[in-house]
Amino acid sequence: MTHSKKQIFIIGCPRSGTTYLMRLLSSNKNFSWISNELNKSPFNYKLSKGLRFYKIPVLGKGFYLKANMFGRPLPTPVEAWNFWNSHIDYFQWKPQHCFTPRNSSPEDLDEKQIEKTRLAVESICEHSGNPIFLSKYTDFPRIKMLKKIFPDAKFIHIVRDGRAVANSYTQKIKSGDFNTSKEIENWMSAWPKEWQNKFIELNRSPIAFTLTQWKFFVSQIKSELSELPKEDHIEIKYSALTSDQDSEIDKLLSFCGLKKDTNMKYFMKMKPSSDMNFKWKEKLSEEEKFIFKELLNEEFFTTLLD
């Protein structure tokens, strides 16, 4: 029987590279994770047995690559909102919870939810046969809440240039993939007053909204991480991951107590990372680039730009 001895969470602002990093790390056969199938049926933990396909000698690494690149009908790691929302009453903010979005806290949990979530993760690891549980989510950090459930949990924070995030985030809102356009007033109410005023001054520009969201989430995440012991968290830059993938992954695996296995080496060879930070320079107007300068005049945030 395999029990989870470690829980690793990848966190970051939306559009920061969390999905690619999750897929890359999940190629390592030591990680168990929430699959697309389990996310649809969040209490059917036996679905995690599907992760065992990737342990088949020689063939397993190809199965994983095809599932993630070509949509073959096999388990793939996902941002498992349905799973977490089904086990924890207040994991993801929704308008029906309250008007102003807020981070989840330990006070949102009761003993029943804690026990249910621990048993769920244990079951996932048992059925997959993999000892280390890996998951990812975006926006609020939720660190203190998850630490109450999993005292030994560790966190990987991936940070991307806010200008690239804002550009990508805005495109997702415009395409309708994100519902955020219907929630602007809610999110504004969670920002510091001076940020609200600046957003209004900039005529409520979509790019001003998404860049302020990046500032908001990065601030929230770094604040909670600062209260953790150093051995419980690590930060990685998206630009470093894409420019020097091999050494950056070695650092992350060392943090998790692992090394690259054959499946991971194969995935990295066949699906190398690519830097998409250049897109904002090509797609945005001079007016939008001016907005960036207006919103990124604080030293704390300029240090995060590449």
List the domain boundaries for the chain: 6-302
Which H helix or E strand runs over 61?
A: helix 60-69
Percent pLDDT > 70 in the chain is 99
pLDDT tens for 126-181 read: 999 999 999 999 999 999 999 999 999 999 999 999 999 999 998 888 887 787 87
Q: What are the percentages of helix, strand and coil residues in the chain, rounded to 5? A: 55, 10, 35
Inter-axis angle of helices 60-69 and 262-270, nearest 10: 40
Q: For all residues of the chain together, what is the average pLDDT?
A: 94
* C-beta separation of 1 from 16 below 8 A: no
For residue 261, give both structure tokens. Answer: 């296995």
pLDDT tens string 89-111: 999 999 999 999 999 999 999 99
69 close to 109: Cβ distance less than 8 angstroms: no
The CATH class of 6-302 is alpha beta
**Are 156 and 236 in contact, with CB atoms under 8 Å apart?**
yes
CB within 8 Å of 195: residues ≥ 6 apart: 212, 215, 216
The pTM of the full predicted model, rounded to 2 decimals, is 0.96
Q: What is the mean pLDDT of residues 41-48?
A: 98
Q: Backbone phi, then psi, for 43, in 5-degree steps? A: -110, 5
Using 50, 70 and 90 to split pLDDT, how confident is the model at 1? low
pLDDT at 276: 84
For the chain, where are the E strands, in sequence order?
6-11, 31-33, 132-136, 154-159, 233-237
